[in-house]
Amino acid sequence: MPACFDVAVVGGGAAGLTAAISAARAGRTVVLCDVDMRPALTPAEVPSDPPVEPDGTPAAYGFGWFLNPWKGHARMWHYGETVGFRTAIHRFPGAGLTVVVLANRSDLNASALALQVAAIFLSKES
């Protein structure tokens, strides 16, 4: 761990990881402990009303992340929407790939678009 850092992120949920990525891209030294990521990457047991993907498919869910693999690739992802906006983030840790879609329109599927982009890059791995 660096002796000196600019940003310490506590928690590995979608907001914490987004903050860490943004700070690192801005040239800041970021500390995010492995222990903070474990809850995000460990599927939770949900006794009633288990999580599902937007299409109704059952989903594994960690602390802030859906954990369903996609086409044989480990994946952590999340989506959001509100009036007139759609968002999605899909991370493929084994491939070192993260795709983020931010849209100020409500007539597209941000998650499907992110997966189309991911398919382009992941197909080059094979």
Q: Mean pLDDT across the chain, nearest whole number?
A: 83
- Give residue 112's pLDDT: 93
Among candidate residues 11, 1, 4, the one with its CA nearest the CA of residue 64? 11
* Mean pLDDT lowest among 24-38, 63-77, 86-100: 24-38
- State the pLDDT at residue 34: 64
Q: How far is the C-alpha of 115 from the C-alpha of 83, rounded, in Å?
A: 22
Counting residues of the chain whose pLDDT is more than 90, the rounded percentage is 33
Per DSSP, the residues of 43-73 read PPP-SSS--B-TTS-B--B-SS-B---BTTB
Question: Residue written as tokens 């983030």?
Answer: 89
Beta bridge partners of 80: 87
Residue 29 contacts residue 2 (beta carbons within 8 Å): yes
pLDDT classification of 16: cutoffs 50, 70, 90: confident
For residues 67-90, give the mean pLDDT. 91
**What pLDDT does residue 1 have?**
47
| Half-sphere exposure of residue 83: CA atoms within 13 angstroms, side-chain side | 0
Position with higher pLDDT, 80 vs 34:
80
Q: Note the pTM of the prediction, 2 decimals.
A: 0.70
The span from the CA of 9 to the CA of 66, in Å, is 20
